[in-house]
Chains A and B, each alone.
Chain A
Amino acid sequence: AQTVTQSQPEMSVQEAETVTLSCTYDTSENNYYLFWYKQPPSRQMILVIRQEAYKQQNATENRFSVNFQKAAKSFSLKISDSQLGDTAMYFCAFMKLPNNAGNMLTFGGGTRLMVKP
């Protein structure tokens, strides 16, 4: 079974600054996907970024980038130029490569990020 740990229950950052959210995971799998999801106050889950484990290059999406360290089983999210709209819960999630079990996601406990003006 996989476990995902987010060690920072809450974080805050000043607008326009950079913040890094931590995530570690435990798995015996070699091929998998990692995700960061954002859940704003509306409660709608929004995919922020995805990383395939077989890719060494870190994924980036505009102001969002990850630091994927496969050997250390670490997957941190960096948000640059933080904006007020980034205020949300952020969940790290793990998914094994496709199988007949349906590609279930395992979520971490979440980090509540507050961007301050």
Chain B
Amino acid sequence: GAVVSQHPSRVICKSGTSVKIECRSLDFQATTMFWYRQFPKQSLMLMATSNEGSKATYEQGVEKDKFLINHASLTLSTLTVTSAHPEDSSFYICSARVYGAGISYNEQFFGPGTRLTVL
């Protein structure tokens, strides 16, 4: 099946520092990747849609200068939380849309998530 990995799985950082989270599609090419944020006991909130080779599309209310997204290849997207603050502490999940002939292009495969704690 289609596998998506995220790295790191957990990160603790000091307030004011930047943190980079990687999302990789391991066995397929993903033209589109999505970044979600999930607070405890809440649903997933879409932050941005990332297309390979182009600028990410951010959802309303998401600061694009704070959450930098880069989708440099068909298998890698990165989310950088710049100048992180305690309110940025959350669970960040990426997903990838499968691309390819004979594969359902309507399904998203999810990474295992990254727990960010900002002290």
- Residues of A that sit less than 8 Å from B by CB: 33, 37, 42-47, 50, 91, 95, 97-98, 101-110, 112
Contacts and interface: CB of A to CB of B under 8 A. Distances in A.
Q: Label chain A's interface by main secondary structure.
A: loop
Given A102-B97, A103-B106, A42 B49 contact: no
Contacts, number: 55
Nearest to B31: A102
A42 B51 contact: no
Residue among B44, B46, B51, B112 with the most chain A CB within 10 A? B44
Q: Label chain B's interface by main secondary structure.
A: strand
Given A102-B51, A108-B43, A110-B43, A44 B34 contact: no
B45 to A, nearest CB: 8
Give the 8 A-B residue pairs with the shortest CB-CB distance, closest first. Answer: A45-B110, A102-B32, A102-B49, A107-B43, A43-B113, A109-B43, A44-B112, A107-B44
Contacts of B95: 45, 105
